[in-house]
Amino acid sequence: MPGPDAVGKSGPHHPRRPTMVDVAREAGVALRTVSRVVNGDTTVGEDFAERVRSAVDRLGYQPDERARQLRSGRTGAIGAAVRHIADAHPVLRAIDETARAVGLTVVAMSTEDDEERERDAVMSMCRRRMDGIIIEPIAQDHHYLQPEIDAGLPVVAFDRPAAGLDVDTVLSDNRGGIAQAFAHLTAQGHRRIGYIGDDERIHTGRERATAFRDALSGIGGTLDGMVHPGPVEPARVAAALAALRDRPDPATALVTGNFNTTVAVIRALGADFGGIALVGFDDFGLADLLRPGVTVVAQGDEEIGRTAIELLSARRANRARPTRTVIVSTRLIPRGSGESAP
């Protein structure tokens, strides 16, 4: 004898998910009691609680997170807009693990180094009312986020500052890292050291090239033709490399400003790196398996990710506190390519 709503099971089409109302009816209790049990409220009699739990199981009830969030205002999730979600990303791992530990869910989206995609990703996070946003900035101008920040959205930038925005930021010690690389090479006796790195329109590229110039003039070296920032394309990198080698006083050592440049240089150098000493900025997975092993300046990825979450939490607790910028130090890892004499 079908009741008035037994027609619901009309076919394989969208057998409407059970709601709290369904559970309440099934258990013979009030809606509010189901809500209490589902949320672990202890002020419910054991017999009532049991009836609810059993009804939940029988119906396969799962609370609708959207409704819950809409009503309660909370979200319990933070967004992370990173450059390439599909590439290895140690900072993202640290963000994910740290957030889990404090009960936050991380929703990651990819910007693919595209300003418009960054905006899309970030705005989509805002429309989902994320409790906070961590961003690896790519856009040249982040004013579009100002209204959200004014409305109380906690934002943290990492790797680069978010141009045009006063937000909490976590950066690598780019200048210190370059200084480490440079000092390591001079300690081996190198004096003619070249640099190939990112475009100076990019924050890290600018920082690292500048630091390298400072280091080079610091030992009285000539800057002329030794510093090559620019787009990271194999042809451009190869040309820069040729310029460093085909001169009366060729460079005997080389610092590369980021992972992609390091790889491009190694491809261009060929076997044994052509006898040139090399220190690369950024560590990477198989650096120890190349011949020679690649000496690198490693960034503190784990600490960067952890710090980003910490800054976000601090701001959630107090939106009025002044913004902070944390600099995370780098570490030189010798593996062979940077330990040969001139």
Span near DNA by CB under 7 A; candidates 32-40, 82-90, 250-258, 276-284: 32-40
Among residues 1 and 86, whose Cβ is nearest to a copy of itself? Answer: 86
* Contact between 218 and a copy of itself per CB under 8 A: no
* Contact between 7 and a copy of itself per CB under 8 A: no
Enter the tokens of residue 115.
């300003």
- The full DSSP string for 62-91 is ---HHHHHHHH----EEEEEES-TTS--HH
Span near DNA by CB under 7 A; candidates 28-36, 260-268, 324-332, 333-341: 28-36
Residues 26-85 contacting a copy of itself, CB under 8 A: 60, 62-67, 69-70, 84-85
- Give the single-character DSSP code of 147: H
* Contact between 192 and a copy of itself per CB under 8 A: no
Residues 265-284 contacting a copy of itself, CB under 8 A: 266-267, 271, 284
Angle (CA) 280-281-283 rounded to 5° is: 90
Neighbours of 269 (CB within 10 A): 18
Query: Looking at 20, 196, 202, 279, which residue binds DNA (CB under 7 A)?
Result: 20
Among residues 33 and 252, whose Cβ is nearest to DNA? Answer: 33
Among residues 58 and 201, whose Cβ is nearest to a copy of itself? Answer: 58
Preceding omega of 292 cis (within 30 degrees of 0): yes
Cβ burial 27-49 (10 Å sphere, 16+ → b, else e): bebeeebbbbbbeeeeebeeebb
* Contact between 178 and DNA per CB under 7 A: no
Beta strands in the chain (DSSP E): 77-82, 105-110, 133-135, 155-158, 168-172, 193-197, 227-229, 253-256, 277-281, 295-298, 325-328, 331-333
Q: What is the contact surface with a copy of itself in residues (CB under 8 A)?
A: 12-15, 17, 60, 62-67, 69-70, 84-90, 92-93, 96, 105, 107-110, 123-124, 126-129, 147-148, 150-152, 263, 266-267, 271, 284-286, 288-291, 319-320
